[in-house]
Amino acid sequence: MISRRFFVSLASAASLVLVTPAFAQGDPLPSWNDGAAKRSIVAFVEKVTRPGSPDFVPPAERIATFDNDGTLWCEQPVPVQLYFALDRVKALAPQHPEWKTQEPFASMLRGDFKAALAGGDHAVLDLMLTTHAGMTTVEFEKIVRDWIATARHPGTGKLFTEMTYQPMVELLAYLKTNGFRNFIVSGGGIEFMRPWTEKAYGIPPEQVIGSSIKTKFEMRDGKPVLLRLAELNFNDDRAGKPVAINQHIGRWPIAAFGNSRGDKEMLEYTQGGAGARFMLLVLHDDAAREYAYGPALGLPDVALGAFPQALYEQAKKDGWTVVSMKDDWKQIFAAPK
Amino acid sequence: MISRRFFVSLASAASLVLVTPAFAQGDPLPSWNDGAAKRSIVAFVEKVTRPGSPDFVPPAERIATFDNDGTLWCEQPVPVQLYFALDRVKALAPQHPEWKTQEPFASMLRGDFKAALAGGDHAVLDLMLTTHAGMTTVEFEKIVRDWIATARHPGTGKLFTEMTYQPMVELLAYLKTNGFRNFIVSGGGIEFMRPWTEKAYGIPPEQVIGSSIKTKFEMRDGKPVLLRLAELNFNDDRAGKPVAINQHIGRWPIAAFGNSRGDKEMLEYTQGGAGARFMLLVLHDDAAREYAYGPALGLPDVALGAFPQALYEQAKKDGWTVVSMKDDWKQIFAAPK
């Protein structure tokens, strides 16, 4: 049913059929089971893209915003950027003998994330500022590129970029094919994501929004550089997400996708605009294939990436789609690229 | 010569000819005299867009950044946003009896910009924070839209949007046709520009970068709003421009356009990237049709939008194109839209 409706919809847009005939004839979301979540996505896309639809939205205004950690790729047992920070701590440790006794570094060096994160947001910020600053933006980009090319998840042994979610990668492509522009709006570091999001998600650097540290322009040996400073610029989480969306895009999203408490305000903001809107939360309920946590499942919540009961109730009340990874997704992780 | 080379270049790109046959056959820059400035623009665009050229740049990387005030529209005798601030001061004055004696408001209310600006950057910031904050982003957008639709330049009597520069509007279209994305990178307020830049320049909100005040997300009567706070977020001038370009775009521009000291670092940053680069400064030397000022002409400089002698010398030394409005532009102002 869905694939036929989708085909008819595409067939009416001659240029799309011309460009992507193979895609138009297949299911654009093959890794999604045919349930309410998938149907809600397709119904939304069809009503905002069908010419003459009362909910039609011009392509320029088809802005979709995606959280990254836990929404587009795995963020357990800790977000990927913390593994990057750990490797940076190890690399920098010889220059910092004081880290042997100083938290959160001492715990990081022992590989004890739980103890390192016991210091809360302050500990995370301290780690980020210490390990992500002191070089130029170009130097940092190379450090990230080199790291992401080889770093692997301790549980699965996969490259982290192989732990992007195949159904979400398909969703990004489906939206893009339908004239949407997809933006990442993540609590993670903007410069940590930009080097690899285009390859992993088809999202170019100018469509990546994230947390950031300050940079400073200077001429060095006659060449311009941006030096990364150990000072927070913006924390792109919770109420920061709508602020950053407005600052970067200057348009109101019509669709927003998240998975945790940090995404609540982004979804509320998206829902508050005039016209058709779509909000979705990914529920991590698949202990066999990924992770399962949170009170909605009767399980303890996680420290980073929590999905509290109140968020689950808000989603139900406000008509947000809640995706069960276990029931809605045929496949979890993307194939290697 | 130029139009023929341009046509041949376009003819080799079948899809463009298909889409824009009329444009391809004409001169894309009809308001530019056939001098060194125009030739340098066309030569750059041809070499970065011609397939097989050693300087070829893929479309995704064709980023051009433009200052706004004095580069895309008139900023004399004072930048347009100050006229907006003046009208805001007048509108808010009844609620602020203390402004009758408090600077810079007292001078503004007397229409004396020179005295109001004697307080320097601090006075300008004070004006902006006082007159641009205290409402939601949606409310502010409406205030700007209503104002820009009717506000006129005191010297010419034209709408301010009729004082955009026709040659630069043509240049923006020429670059866009050649696969560039044009970004505004202005010391002016980002939310002051976004409501009208698409109509005036063909530049959508997400490609506008500017100075900003902080905003705060909150739910108001169950609806999400972003409240504009009387606190500076970012000053997008001088060394701030490369910082903002990296933050918003995450790509290195290959072309940059300015007209004053505030654009120096943006042009230096652009020039510092690898591969072909193009830097241009507009020199205001046309007293009859616009304004003439600055030591390069043996004239006094202006307070806001200064073009010091050192910048002129740097442009000559570093191979930046300097446009003479008097000699290079057939027409100054754009036709009404």
Q: CA-to-CA distance for B317 and B277, rounded, in angstroms?
A: 15
Tally A–B CB contacts below 8 A. Answer: 84
Encoding tokens for residue B137?
């982003």
pLDDT over 60 at A15, yes or no = no
Task: Give residue A33's pLDDT.
Answer: 98
Task: Give residue A278's pLDDT.
Answer: 98
Encoding tokens for residue A318?
């406000």
pLDDT over 90 at A35, yes or no = yes
**Would you call B242 an interface residue with chain A, using a CB distance cutoff of 8 Å?**
yes
Q: CA-to-CA distance for A227 and B243, rounded, in angstroms?
A: 10
**Would you call A208 an interface residue with chain B, using a CB distance cutoff of 8 Å?**
yes
**Would you call B243 an interface residue with chain A, using a CB distance cutoff of 8 Å?**
yes
**Would you call B210 an interface residue with chain A, using a CB distance cutoff of 8 Å?**
no
Nearest to B226 among A190, A216, A243 (CB): A243
Closest-CA distance, A184 to chain B, in angstroms, reads 13
Closest-CA distance, A229 to chain B, in angstroms, reads 12
Selected residue of B180, B192, B246 to mutate for chain A interface (largest A Cβ count, 10 A)? B246
Phi-psi region of A232 (alpha: psi -120 to 50; beta: other; left: phi over 0): beta
pLDDT over 90 at A13, yes or no = no
Task: Give residue A2's pLDDT.
Answer: 37
* SS3 sequence of A82-132: HHHHHHHHHHHHHHCHHHHCCCCHHHHHCCCHHHHHCCHHHHHHHHHHHHH
What is the pLDDT tens value at each position of chain B, 337 positions in all? 333 333 333 333 333 333 333 344 589 999 999 999 999 999 999 999 999 999 999 999 999 999 999 999 999 999 999 999 999 999 999 999 999 999 999 999 998 999 999 998 899 999 999 999 999 999 999 999 999 999 999 999 999 999 999 999 999 999 999 999 999 999 999 999 999 999 999 999 999 999 999 999 999 999 999 999 999 999 999 999 999 999 999 999 999 999 999 999 999 999 999 899 999 999 999 999 999 999 999 999 998 999 999 999 999 999 999 999 999 999 999 987 6
Tell me which amino acid residue A212 is. S
Residues of B in contact with A226 (CB under 8 A): 242-243, 246
CB atoms within 10 A of CB B222: 7
Q: CA-to-CA distance for B11 and A88, rounded, in angstroms?
A: 51
Which positions 33-92 of B are in contact with A (Cβ < 8 Å)? 60
Residue % of chain A over a pLDDT of 90: 89
Closest-CA distance, A239 to chain B, in angstroms, reads 6
Of the candidates A264, A258, A291, the residue with the CA atom closest to the CA atom of residue A163: A291
Nearest chain B alpha carbon to A192: B250
pLDDT over 50 at A248, yes or no = yes
First CA to last CA across chain A, in angstroms?
31
Closest-CA distance, A141 to chain B, in angstroms, reads 11
A1 pLDDT band, cuts 50/70/90, is very low
Tens-digit pLDDT profile for residues B119-146: 988 999 999 999 999 999 999 999 999 9
Task: Give residue B25's pLDDT.
Answer: 56
ipTM of this complex prediction, to 2 decimal places: 0.92
Nearest chain B alpha carbon to A221: B272
pLDDT over 70 at A16, yes or no = no
Task: Give residue A228's pLDDT.
Answer: 98
Nearest chain B alpha carbon to A210: B247
Closest-CA distance, B60 to chain A, in angstroms, reads 9
Residues of B in contact with A251 (CB under 8 A): 205-206
Q: CA-to-CA distance for B255 and B55, rounded, in angstroms?
A: 13
Of the candidates B299, B262, B64, the residue with the CA atom closest to the CA atom of residue B181: B64
What number is the average pLDDT over the span A57-70? 98
pLDDT over 60 at A12, yes or no = no
Residues of A in contact with B225 (CB under 8 A): 272
Nearest to A224 among B215, B218, B269 (CB): B269
* pTM confidence score: 0.92
Length of chain B equals 337
**Would you call B217 an interface residue with chain A, using a CB distance cutoff of 8 Å?**
yes
Q: CA-to-CA distance for A278 and B184, rounded, in angstroms?
A: 31
Of the candidates A42, A65, A66, A32, the residue with the CA atom closest to the CA atom of residue A332: A32
**Would you call A248 an interface residue with chain B, using a CB distance cutoff of 8 Å?**
yes
Nearest chain A alpha carbon to B213: A247
Task: Give residue A5's pLDDT.
Answer: 38
Q: CA-to-CA distance for B327 and B144, rounded, in angstroms?
A: 34
Closest-CA distance, B213 to chain A, in angstroms, reads 10
Closest-CA distance, B226 to chain A, in angstroms, reads 7
Kindly give, in sequence order, each residue whose CB lies less than 8 Å from that of residue B193, ignoring residues fewer than 6 positions away.
Answer: B68, B184, B186, B208, B210
Residues of B in contact with A233 (CB under 8 A): 247
pLDDT over 80 at A147, yes or no = yes
- Please answer yes or no on whether B250 and A208 come within 8 Å at the CB atom: yes
- Please answer yes or no on whether A216 and B247 come within 8 Å at the CB atom: no
Q: CA-to-CA distance for B255 and A41, rounded, in angstroms?
A: 40
Nearest to A251 among B206, B233, B265 (CB): B206
Q: CA-to-CA distance for B73 and B334, rounded, in angstroms?
A: 9
Nearest chain A alpha carbon to B217: A239
A121 pLDDT band, cuts 50/70/90, is confident
Nearest to A268 among B206, B219, B249 (CB): B219
- Please answer yes or no on whether B215 and A243 come within 8 Å at the CB atom: yes
Nearest to A268 among B60, B215, B224 (CB): B224
What number is the average pLDDT over the span A79-100? 97
Tens-digit pLDDT profile for residues A187-201: 999 999 999 999 999
Closest-CA distance, B207 to chain A, in angstroms, reads 8
- Please answer yes or no on whether B247 and A212 come within 8 Å at the CB atom: yes
pLDDT over 50 at A150, yes or no = yes
**Would you call A219 an interface residue with chain B, using a CB distance cutoff of 8 Å?**
yes
A335 pLDDT band, cuts 50/70/90, is confident
**Would you call B250 an interface residue with chain A, using a CB distance cutoff of 8 Å?**
yes
Of the candidates B223, B180, B226, the residue with the CA atom closest to the CA atom of residue B203: B180
- Please answer yes or no on whether A248 and B137 come within 8 Å at the CB atom: no
